[in-house]
């Protein structure tokens, strides 16, 4: 419980810090300082600049907020879809449940990274950065629900076979009335699924971005920043910048993982 | 239910999954908004007429039925279609890379399972399982595969097998630790330990048989995880395997190649699932 509380507070502190960095006067993640590419830390750029002279601190802060928001929204969509499908499969007729679980099996048999690459590579060449971000997280949400739906299905089946549900059915309660009691009982199952999906989506986006198939420039993303590591000469010249960024990413993901696991 | 009927039902379900994966992948790609656009249409070296012809050709070959039938006929002819980028049968591109990727996967999975099982046995059998076992696994899972591979490459420490094995071992360890810990805390095992029975004997005679269904399911999950880690690892370490081929196809919008590789991966995942999920008849037989 202590770990969970600490992780939640630390995560909130990181988000507030990122918001403070972005709302500071003259802070911009996309403005280029053409005279200062790869600049060292200074009062103007506390974490230096990248190859195009953009402020690294603002980019890291924006990437944090974008990644977390996108992952949280995708996770919420995934959890909602899983809750709907899992409950429908458990409480619907036998053939509905069988079909829903078959669809889950089909999705689980699809290697998600290859599917993501396939869909991302088939997007129009003129896709805007904001659309690319939205589509990336939408695809993550669309592919992330089956495992969660199977967990919800198992939980809902147990509920359906519980004694109080037999009493409710025997007492003549309609399905809609029973669902009002079922959904609160599924929340302990759905909340961990929601929390566990967030770091998974953050890592998935980072991996896609590192392959050049994530969020489009000039929007910042951690995957896109990892692409900069391709140039080892740049890395060794500016390693003092990357280590804090790498540390921040690791700490953030650890906090999310701790919040999800606790 | 008779074992033979159960086995037939199980086989039919598995085949249905493979077919639905093929149809689902094709529909997903066809419905992607930019499927019909071709990078050559934006190339000013092509004349307007040539670009219009490219566009018309894409529209002609873009019907769902045409795509599905060409995909199925490509697989039945054994060439898996024609690569848009290279203009040669996709299977000619895949064949030399199968051994490379297969070798990488086998070595990574082997090393990962040795690491994960050893760590899980040690951590689960202890009286007070320490956080020292959990923290490295959580840290490893928190680092994106691409970042881990890049750091290993730049630091000149470890290789592709090392990176994949670490990632897989971290994931497997968490599941294995939980399953083995639960088994060790069973009342009859606690009593046997209190009576001084040897740990090795308990492990071989009770713990491993009791956890074998979970271990078997985890093995198939490991393959899925390994396939997902394959792309960043092969791209960053420049290994000419299927992951690199898929990435190259994605960057050059060579969808027949990407679709074929995805299909192969999906079949591999389904077969792995088959291996861990025996037909119900086998269990009752």
- What is the value of ipTM here, to two decimals? 0.70
Could A113 and B227 be called an inter-chain contact, meaning their C-beta atoms sit closer than 8 Å? yes
Reply yes or no on whether the pLDDT at B282 is more than 50: no
Out of B17, B224, B235, closest to residue A211 by CB: B235
Query: What pLDDT shows up at residue A233?
Result: 58
The candidate with the shortest Cα–Cα distance to A101, out of A110, A89, A91, A83, is A89
Residue A55 DSSP symbol: B
Q: Which two tokens stand for residue A227?
A: 């692409």
Average pLDDT, stretch B41-50?
67
Question: Residue A253's pLDDT is what?
Answer: 63
State the burial class of residue B117 (Cβ atoms within 10 Å of its Cβ: 0-12, 13-18, 19+).
middle
Question: Across chain B, what does the average pLDDT equal?
Answer: 78
- Least confident residue range of A115-124, A209-218, B228-237: A115-124
Q: Inter-chain contact A125–B29, Cβ cutoff 8 Å? A: no
pLDDT beyond 70 at A247: no
- pLDDT of B281 reads 45
Q: Name every chain A residue with its beta carbon within 8 A of the beta carbon of B266.
A: 109-111
Q: Is the pLDDT of residue B109 over 90?
A: yes
Spell out which residues of chain B touch residue A212, defining contact as CB-CB under 8 Å.
251
Closest CA–CA distance from residue B266 to any residue of chain A (Å)? 5
Token pair in block for residue B256: 């027949």
CA angle B107, B108, B110 (to 5 degrees): 65
The pair of structure tokens assigned to A112 is 């998600």
pTM (2 d.p.)? 0.77
| Cβ-Cβ contacts under 8 Å, A118 against chain B | 25, 28-29, 32, 250, 255, 258-259, 262
* A15 contact B CB<8A: no
pLDDT attached to residue B214: 81
Q: Using CB atoms, pick whichever of B20, B28, B265 lies closest to residue A119.
A: B28
Position B114 confidence tier, pLDDT thresholds 50, 70, 90: very high
Closest residue in A to B269 (Cα–Cα): A109
Determine the pLDDT at residue A107: 79
Please tell me which residue, B52 or A67, carries the higher pLDDT value: A67
- The single-letter DSSP state of residue A49 is B
The Cα–Cα gap between A86 and A145 comes to 10
Q: For residue A45, what is the DSSP state?
A: S
Contact A106 B261 (CB under 8 A): no
* Residue A125 pLDDT: 67
What's the confidence (pLDDT) of residue B265?
82
Q: Per-residue b/e over A204-243, b at no fewer than 16 CB within 10 Å?
A: bbbbbbbbbbbbbebbbbbbbbbbbbeeeebbeebeebbe
Q: What is the CATH number of domain B97-255?
A: 1.10.3720.10
Residue among A102, A109, A113 minimizing CB distance to B266: A109
Residues with Cβ within 8 Å of A125's Cβ and at least 6 positions away in sequence, in order, are B34, B37, B39, B42
Q: What is the pLDDT of residue B285?
A: 33
Mean pLDDT of all residues in B254-279: 75
Residue A254 touches partner B, C-beta closer than 8 Å:
yes
Residue with tokens 């489009």: A216
Using one digit for the tens of pLDDT, what is the confidence trace for A2-17? 666 777 777 788 888 8
- Looking up tokens 């009062």, which residue turns up? A43
- Residue B28: closest CA among chain A residues belongs to which residue? A119
Tens-digit pLDDT profile for residues B61-107: 666 677 777 777 777 777 777 787 788 888 888 889 999 999 999 99
pLDDT of residue A75: 92
The reported pLDDT for the residue numbered B280 is: 46
Report whether pLDDT(B148) > 60: yes
Rounded to an integer, what distance in angstroms lies between the CA atom of residue A60 and that of residue A54?
11
In DSSP notation, B142-182 reads HS-HHHHHHHHHHHT---HHHHHHHHHHHHHHHHHHHHHHH
Whether the per-residue pLDDT at A232 is higher than 70: the answer is no
Residue B284 scores a pLDDT above 50:
no
Q: Which residues of B touch A211 (CB under 8 A)?
A: 146, 231-232, 235, 247, 250
Contacts of B143 in chain A (CB under 8 A): 249-250, 253
Whether A121 and B25 lie within 8 Å, measured CB to CB: no
Domain ranges of chain B: 97-255
Nearest alpha carbon to residue A189 among A161, A149, A162? A149
Q: Do A223 and B144 touch (CB under 8 A)?
A: yes
- Calculate mean pLDDT across residues A188-208: 84
The Cα B120–Cα B112 span in angstroms is 12
Chain B residues touching A122 at Cβ < 8 A: 29, 32-35, 253, 255
In this structure, is the dihedral angle defined by the CA atoms of residues B246, B251, B257 and B263, taken in order, positive or negative?
A: positive
pLDDT of A76 over the 90 cut: yes
DSSP string, A117-156: HHHHHTS-TT--HHHHHHHHHHHHHHHHHHHHHHHHHHHH
Please name which of A249, A161, A51 lies closest in space to residue B142, comparing C-alpha atoms: A249
Question: Which A positions 106-145 lie with beta carbon below 8 A of chain B?
Answer: 106, 108-115, 117-125, 127
Tell me if A209 sits within 8 A of A223, measured CB to CB: yes
Best CA proximity match to B165, nearest among B97, B230, B113, B228: B113
Tens of pLDDT, residues B182-220: 888 888 888 888 888 887 888 888 888 888 888 887 887
Cβ of B25 and A115 within 8 Å?
A: yes
Q: What is the DSSP letter of B78?
A: T
**Segment B230-255, tens digit of pLDDT:** 888 998 888 999 999 988 888 777 77
Residue with tokens 């540390």, as numbered in its chain: A247
Mutate to test the interface with B, among A114, A198, A258 (most CBs of B within 10 A): A114
Quote the mean pLDDT of chain A: 79
**Higher per-residue pLDDT: B164 or A128:** B164
B42 near A CB under 8 A: yes
Asked if B161 has any chain A CB less than 8 Å from its own CB, the reply is no
Q: Indicate whether A238 pLDDT > 70.
A: no
A125 to chain B: which residues are within 8 Å by CB?
34, 37, 39, 42
Q: What pLDDT sits at residue B105?
A: 92
Asked whether A190 and A232 are in contact (CB, 8 A), the reply is no
Please list, in sequence order, all residues whose beta carbon lies within 8 angstroms of the beta carbon of residue A225, skipping any fewer than 6 positions away.
A59, A60, A63, A209, A245
Q: Are the C-beta atoms of A226 and A59 separated by less than 8 Å?
A: no
């Amino acid at each position: 419980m202590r770990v969970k509380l600490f992780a939640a507070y630390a995560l909130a502190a990181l988000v507030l810090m990122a918001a403070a960095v972005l709302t500071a006067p003259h802070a911009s993640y996309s403005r280029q300082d053409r005279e200062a590419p790869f600049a060292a830390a200074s009062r103007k750029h506390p974490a230096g600049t990248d190859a195009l002279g953009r402020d690294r601190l603002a980019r890291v802060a924006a990437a944090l907020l974008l990644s977390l928001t996108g992952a949280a929204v995708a996770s919420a969509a995934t959890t909602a879809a899983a809750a709907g499908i899992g409950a429908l499969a458990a409480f619907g007729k036998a053939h509905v449940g069988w079909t829903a679980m078959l669809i889950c099996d089909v999705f689980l048999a699809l290697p998600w990274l290859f599917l993501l690459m396939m869909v991302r590579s088939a997007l129009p060449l003129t896709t805007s950065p904001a659309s690319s971000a939205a589509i990336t997280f939408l695809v993550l949400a669309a592919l992330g629900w089956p495992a969660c739906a199977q967990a919800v299905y198992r939980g809902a089946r147990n509920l359906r076979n519980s004694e109080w549900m037999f009493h409710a059915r025997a007492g003549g309660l309609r399905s809609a009335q029973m669902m009002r009691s079922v959904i609160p009982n599924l929340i302990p199952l759905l909340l961990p699924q929601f929390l566990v999906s967030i770091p998974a989506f953050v890592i998935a986006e980072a991996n896609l971005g590192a392959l050049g198939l994530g969020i489009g420039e000039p929007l910042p993303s951690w995957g896109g920043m990892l692409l900069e590591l391709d140039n080892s000469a740049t890395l060794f010249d500016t390693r003092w910048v990357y280590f804090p960024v790498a540390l921040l990413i690791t700490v953030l993901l650890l906090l999310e993982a701790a919040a999800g696991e606790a | 239910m008779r074992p033979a009927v159960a086995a037939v039902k199980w086989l039919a379900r598995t085949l249905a999954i493979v077919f639905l994966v093929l149809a689902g992948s094709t529909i997903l790609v066809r419905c992607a908004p930019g499927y019909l656009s071709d990078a050559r249409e934006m190339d000013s070296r092509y004349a307007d007429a040539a670009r219009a012809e490219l566009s018309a050709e894409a529209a002609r070959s873009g019907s769902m039925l045409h795509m599905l039938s060409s995909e199925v006929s490509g697989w039945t002819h054994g060439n898996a279609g024609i690569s848009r980028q290279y203009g040669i049968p996709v299977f000619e591109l895949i064949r030399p890379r199968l051994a490379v990727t297969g070798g990488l996967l086998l070595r990574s999975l082997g090393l990962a399972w040795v690491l994960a099982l050893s760590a899980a046995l040690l951590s689960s059998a202890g009286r007070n399982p320490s956080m020292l076992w959990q923290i490295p696994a959580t840290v490893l899972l928190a680092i994106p595969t691409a970042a881990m591979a890049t750091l290993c490459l730049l630091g000149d420490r470890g290789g592709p097998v090392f990176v994949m094995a670490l990632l897989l071992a971290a994931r497997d360890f968490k599941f294995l630790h939980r399953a083995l810990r639960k088994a060790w805390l069973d009342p009859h095992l606690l009593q046997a330990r209190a009576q001084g029975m040897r740990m090795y004997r308990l492990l071989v005679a009770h713990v491993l048989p009791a956890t074998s269904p979970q271990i078997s399911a985890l093995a198939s999950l490991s393959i899925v995880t390994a396939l997902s880690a394959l792309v960043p690892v092969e791209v960053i370490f420049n290994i000419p395997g299927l992951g690199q081929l898929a990435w190259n196809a994605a960057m050059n919008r060579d969808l027949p190649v990407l679709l074929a590789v995805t299909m192969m991966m999906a079949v591999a995942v389904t077969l792995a699932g088959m291996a861990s999920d025996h037909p119900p008849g086998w269990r009752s037989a």
